[in-house]
Structure 1
Amino acid sequence: MAEFLIRKLENFSRLSAEDRRALDQAARQRTRQIRPRDDIVREGDLPPGVNLILDGWACRYKTLEDGRRQIIAYLLPGDLCDHGVPILREMDHSIGTLTAVTLAEITPETIRQLTAGHARLSQALTWESLVAAAIQREWTVNIGQRTAFERLGHLLCELYLRLHAVGLTQGPTCELPLTQAEIADTIGLSVVHVNRTLQELRGAGLIALRGRELTLLRLDALQRAVQFNPNYLHLDHEGRHLDANET
């Protein structure tokens, strides 16, 4: 059940068999299936337990009073929806699905037990939350400083590498179940501008997009063109090379 989370965390630290077993058991306690484009939790709600995305795509978002929306994060298989949230009094953002989603509801008490009883797992979960914060910083730079071409290309590079890290790519191809309106709400452009920028990326021979399937035809060239540095994803930490039996 926790396969993708385990793969993600092992980019930081090689987990022991006991660590993996504990995560798997936690993910099996309670699961929910949610329809596409439905809310998992809304702004103002009492924070729930920790939600782990097992399958499907979700997003964090904020909505203004006049209905304008900003998507502030994508949640992919293996992502935890803020394991520190339950200490807050109310949600300050909403989490909604983009596709059909299967998630595991993990209680705060279970999270405390995992971190107290498994030192390497505790360290890896801290890494997971720090990477989420690093991604948020990069998104701020994306909207504040990059051109439309760079914004969109940067986002596509990030999503591909995050999916690749948990084994959800096939060569240069990955799923991209986003509408142009959702992309627009993410990178601060109009839908027309997103469409035009996608055509630029295609015309440059950098990507192919067929339905819900994205292919990065020349990843290195795309990264150079949009000034993408993957260091903020921290996928090359030396801890990933540790042997599972090390202490």
Structure 2
Amino acid sequence: MNQSLPTRSPLIRKLERFTPLSEADRTALEGIGSHVENVPAHRDLVTEGDRPRGIPLLLEGMAYRYKMRANGARQIPAYLVPGDMGDLDVALIDRMDHSVGTFSPCRVAWIKPETLADIQRSHPAVARALRIGTLVDEATLREWLLNVGRRSSKERLAHLFSELLLRLQVVGLATENSYALPIGQAELADTTGMSSVHVNRSLMELRREGLIALSGRTLTILDVPALKALAEFKANYLHLEERGAA
């Protein structure tokens, strides 16, 4: 099905936080998707070992990158929220080295690498914003490595929840302290390097301390400054400062 991205798509909202975009830049981005598909929860968008089929752009829902061990153990090193893309340089590789799955039902636009390359050549501001986005992905991975290696169990969850609050606020999917969290405890365990039992215990501690509330698939952060302080959360690695339009 051939569709264009909606005006003021999450991609545009995100990239405008990295650098000012002109109306021509926005117009180019609105038509970037060659086709859009609806993907159910708990399905792979990308499977390790497959040939790349294009660059996925998440329009709705939440997805994640992951790696599997032979024994079935999984590690999740990144979340994708609306406005996030898969690897921009997939045209340079023959086979995917990781998988991308969906936490929730997702709408995904598939972008042809040559289309994105043409836009980057014709729109330097878009090229700059996409490059910053790649640097942010790398910086985020460093934070997640610190999370797993050096933060306590409560701090790991507090940092993850604080990061998601800001990332979802940027694309209009979070209030000042609440957002949908379609992620189970087993998936949080695979993200933070803990067991599901340890995740459950840590969530209970955060609740008892009056920092969070979970109702169904909605997370409410009851004390945002205190949660960020617990996690030592500093948002500078996300580079999401407000910027004016060109």
Size of the alignment, in residue pairs?
Answer: 240
Over 2 Å off, 4+ runs: 240-243
Q: CA deviation at 1:225?
A: 1.2
Q: In structure 2, what is the equivalent of residue 190 of structure 1?
A: 195
| Alpha-carbon distance in 1 for matches of 2:91, 2:66 | 18
Q: In structure 1, what is the equivalent of residue 14 of structure 2?
A: 8
Unaligned runs of 5+ in 2: none
| Alpha-carbon distance in 2 for matches of 1:202, 1:86 | 45
Alpha carbons of structure 1 residues 67 and 127: separation in structure 2 relative to 1, 3 Å: same
Deviations 1:122-156 (A, max 9, x none): 10010111101111111011001000011011011
Alpha carbons of structure 1 residues 128 and 96: separation in structure 2 relative to 1, 3 Å: same
| Alpha-carbon distance in 1 for matches of 2:76, 2:68 | 9
Q: In structure 2, what is the equivalent of residue 94 of structure 1?
A: 99
Q: In structure 2, what is the equivalent of residue 43 of structure 1?
A: 48
Q: 2:207 aligns with which of 199, 202, 207?
A: 202
Q: CA deviation at 1:171?
A: 2.8
Identity of aligned residues (%): 47
| Alpha-carbon distance in 2 for matches of 1:223, 1:71 | 22
| Alpha-carbon distance in 2 for matches of 1:22, 1:243 | 15
Residue 230 in structure 1 maps to residue 235 in structure 2: yes
| Alpha-carbon distance in 1 for matches of 2:163, 2:78 | 12
1:1-247 equivalence runs, <5 A: 1=5, 3-27=9-33, 29-236=34-241, 240-244=242-246
| Alpha-carbon distance in 1 for matches of 2:173, 2:29 | 20
SS at match of 2:79: strand
Q: CA deviation at 1:210?
A: 0.5
> Are the aligned partners of 2:90 and 2:113 in contact in 1 as well (CA < 8 Å)?
no
Task: Return the letter of the residue paired with 2:243.
Answer: H
Q: Give the root-mean-square deviation of aligned CA atoms.
A: 1.1
Q: CA deviation at 1:242?
A: 3.8
Question: TM-score, normalised to structure 2's length?
Answer: 0.95
Question: TM-score, normalised to structure 1's length?
Answer: 0.94
SS at match of 2:237: helix
Task: Return the letter of the residue paired with 1:11.
Answer: R
